[in-house]
Amino acid sequence: SIDGQRLWSSLMAMAEIGPTANGGSCRLALSEEDAAGRRLLIEWCEAIGCTLRVDRVGNLFIRRPGKRDDLDPVATGSHLDTQPKGGRFDGILGVLAGLEVFRTLHDQGIVTERPLELVVWTNEEGSRFAPAMVASGAFAGEFSEEYTLARTDRDGVTLGQALAASGFAGEMPVGEPRLASFFELHIEQGPVLEEEKEAIGVVTGVQGMRWFDVTLRGQPAHAGPTPMTYRRDALAAAARLIDRLQAHALADISGGTKVTFGCLEIDSPSRNVIPGEVRLTVDLRHVVEAELDALEARFDRELAALTEAFGVETASERIWASPVVNFDAGCIDAVERAARAQGVPYRRMMSGAGHDAVYVSRVAPTSMIFIPCRDGISHNEAEYATPEHCALGAQVLLDAMLERANT
């Protein structure tokens, strides 16, 4: 069985690449730090006889041979990129738990029927390049190779350029290889398991999410002599939008509605200038697709109302929509059996965050395993999961993969 201490050591070693002031990590997708993290993983995997292939959007496929290499592999994996002030577990745990599965099998001289594959997906976070999960999306046929490589960061660098600079632009056509099944271990990134004192989440699907880029255009003017009634204040308009949608989401006592404004920028800001233009991002989520439609309609109405109330022009572009996902019943059951075998409390649950498994599930039977994280906090340097929970998650992953790889 899994060596929890070894898994923890590899997590802590990875966290030393791109460390942040308060104990987190910063490895933005395809940055020098992200590339260094990938090189460390590859070194570890090659030391135990695995081989690497890289596809044209930079996804890494690390293979452990099986008895029957003509069969499609059973795969696991996640991502190594982080948020600007990210944690040490989000994505990384899923990758390094896959490494730990390989190391455990290696130590015990076990060769599975099917080959195994550890996958590192490019740019999962969506922080440097939007949308999130773009390279697993390309793998699953949701985004074309061209679209994926043309994603642009704030400095105007394309994903393709960053990929070339990182040394991870591969040759394998996007979409290869076919996977027999896919399991992804991840921290929950929310508070449910911890609150309910459960050790494993058997993930049955993922809530739907939609991303928007919004621009509000008013009129810059002097803060002093411009009467309140004359103003066309783009920031006051943005504040109204945020406050209204925040109240709307809070009013949903089911807790299903989620609204987040992560970025907001004023054009040419100055203390004594009424903001003339504001750009902001909107993230809408819901576990029920029809409710997500209703939420988007509400957002559209609140946005439209700003024109009359504040004299601003509004523009909104939906840059990404990921529908509600339901995972494969067989894979869910395999995870549930593995969790039950550990004798720990677990629950079936939906994921609030998007994961590469969302897109992979379109082309391979898929499910996920969650472990609790402290205070439900993630996308934060303080993100933490205990060594025991990490080891338990890796053990459930090993067992579910073995079941699938030997049948």
Ligand X SMILES: NC(=O)NCCC(=O)O
* 16, 159, 184, 308, 345 from 156: Cα distances, Å: 28, 10, 32, 34, 47
352 contributes a contact to a second copy by CB under 8 A: yes
Q: How far is the CB of 366 from ligand X (least distance, A)?
A: 15
Cα gap 58→120, rounded to integer Å: 9
Task: Answer yes or no: are the C-beta atoms of 127 and 168 closer than 8 Å.
Answer: no
Q: How far is the CB of 141 from a second copy (least distance, A)?
A: 23
Residue of 156, 224, 227, 255 that binds ligand X (CB under 6 A): 224
Site for a second copy in 79-138 (CB under 8 A): 83-85, 125-127, 130, 132
SS3 content of the chain, % helix, strand, coil (to 5): 35, 25, 40
- For 270-300, the DSSP string reads -TTEE--EEEEEEEEEESSHHHHHHHHHHHH
Residue of 99, 353, 371, 405 that binds ligand X (CB under 6 A): 353
- For 217-256, the DSSP string reads E-B-EETTTS-GGG-B-HHHHHHHHHHHHHHHHHH-TTS-
Task: Answer yes or no: are the C-beta atoms of 349 and 202 closer than 8 Å.
Answer: yes
Binding flags for ligand X, 264-293, as an x/- string (CB under 6 A):
--------x---------------------
Site for a second copy in 193-222 (CB under 8 A): 207, 209, 211, 219-222
In the bound state with a second copy, the residue whose beta carbon lies nearer, of 94 and 220, is 220
Binding flags for a second copy, 231-260, as an x/- string (CB under 8 A):
--x-xx-xxxxxx--x--xx-x--x-xxxx
In the bound state with a second copy, the residue whose beta carbon lies nearer, of 114 and 389, is 389
Task: Answer yes or no: are the C-beta atoms of 314 and 216 closer than 8 Å.
Answer: yes
Task: Answer yes or no: are the C-beta atoms of 397 and 183 closer than 8 Å.
Answer: yes
- # of chain residues touching ligand X (CB under 6 A): 12
Site for ligand X in 75-134 (CB under 6 A): 90, 124-126, 132
In the bound state with ligand X, the residue whose beta carbon lies nearer, of 50 and 358, is 358
Q: How far is the CB of 368 from ligand X (least distance, A)?
A: 10
In the bound state with ligand X, the residue whose beta carbon lies nearer, of 120 and 405, is 120
Contact residues toward ligand X (CB under 6 A) are 90, 124-126, 132, 222-224, 272, 353-355
